[in-house]
């Protein structure tokens, strides 16, 4: 990010694995801020919704009055990355930011947690090692949702405009390419802010 100011990325920090996302983003030169109340969204260039427990996270979002501000944030064209429970939070039955329905704990009881190499469309350098922990898959989706990765034929990564969602924990391990892809969306949104976002 030479020559430009580091983007400021918020990480929803009500519950779950937000710290590992912050570390990965910082390692890539971004500034980070923890989001717990609507005011924390001000001035952010992008937002990460981490893994955790979507029921607890959804309760926290309601309690803090964050649902509508989060929807507005995404609707304004600011990039959002959701991972695992974060993917669930983005679906129709939660924030409704993506036109899809996540199936929770979809991989079943026997294989609650596993690792798999996932080929993500648009990600150069071969498959990414995905860490799946009681992960969801995408059970249904509308036309605007592009499936960019699958495991055993099940969609586990998707993109809708500037919103990215993956069912695995991209923040664990050393491979930071998904966060790079996300920061690329942030950079493009900042560069094209006038045209794409109606000016900011
Ligand atoms: N199973 C969790 C849920 O339903 C998600 C697990 C995770 O984020 N690792 O919210």
Q: pLDDT tens-digit profile of 26-51?
A: 999 999 999 999 999 999 999 999 99
Average pLDDT over residues 119-126: 94
Q: 54-104 pLDDT, tens per residue?
A: 999 999 999 999 999 999 999 999 999 999 999 999 999 999 999 999 999
- Among the listed residues 21, 84, 94, 141, the single catalytic one is 84
Residue to substitute in 88, 90, 169 for testing ligand 1 pocket (most ligand atoms within 8 angstroms of CB): 88
54 lines ligand 1 (CB under 6 A): yes
Distance from C-alpha of 121 to C-alpha of 68, rounded to nearest angstrom? 30
**Beta strand 163-166 with 137-141: parallel, antiparallel or unpaired?**
unpaired
User: Can you spell out the DSSP letters for 29-96?
Assistant: T-EEEEE-SGGGGTT-SEEEE--S-HHHHHHHHHHTT-HHHHHHHHHTT--EEEETHHHHHHSTTTT-
In this structure, of 1-10, 55-64, 121-130, the range with the lowest mean pLDDT score is 1-10
170 lines ligand 1 (CB under 6 A): no
Distance from C-alpha of 49 to C-alpha of 21, rounded to nearest angstrom? 9
57 lines ligand 1 (CB under 6 A): no
| Cβ(10)–Cβ(47) below 8 Å | yes
Average pLDDT over residues 157-179: 95
Atom of ligand 1 nearest to the CA of 52: 8
**Beta strand 8-12 with 31-35: parallel, antiparallel or unpaired?**
parallel
At 8 the three-state DSSP class reads strand
131 lines ligand 1 (CB under 6 A): no
Buried b (16+ CB within 10 A) or exposed e, 99-122: bbbbbbebbeeeeeeeebebebee
Catalytic residue check, 171 = yes
Q: If you measure from the C-alpha of residue 3 to the centroid of ligand 1, how many angstroms do you get, rounded to a whole number?
A: 38
Distance from C-alpha of 112 to C-alpha of 106, rounded to nearest angstrom? 9
- Among the listed residues 21, 22, 94, 171, the single catalytic one is 171
């Amino acid at each position: 990010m030479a020559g430009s100011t580091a983007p400021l990325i918020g990480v929803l920090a009500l519950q779950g694995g937000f710290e590992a996302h912050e570390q990965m983003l910082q390692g890539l030169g971004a500034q980070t801020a923890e989001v717990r109340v609507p005011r924390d969204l001000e001035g952010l260039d992008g937002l990460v919704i981490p893994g955790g427990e979507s029921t607890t996270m959804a309760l926290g979002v309601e309690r803090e009055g964050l649902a509508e501000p989060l929807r507005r944030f995404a609707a304004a064209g600011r990039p959002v990355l959701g991972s695992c429970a974060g993917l669930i939070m983005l679906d129709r039955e939660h924030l409704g930011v993506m036109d899809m329905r996540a199936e929770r704990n979809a991989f079943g009881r026997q294989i609650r947690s596993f690792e798999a190499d996932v080929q993500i469309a648009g990600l150069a350098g071969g498959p990414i090692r995905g860490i799946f922990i009681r992960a969801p898959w995408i059970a249904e989706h509308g036309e605007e949702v592009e499936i960019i990765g699958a495991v055993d034929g099940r969609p586990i990564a998707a993109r809708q405009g500037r919103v990215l969602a993956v069912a695995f924990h991209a923040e664990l391990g050393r491979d930071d390419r998904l966060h790079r892809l996300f920061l690329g969306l942030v950079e493009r949104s900042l560069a094209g802010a006038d045209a794409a976002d109606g000016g900011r």
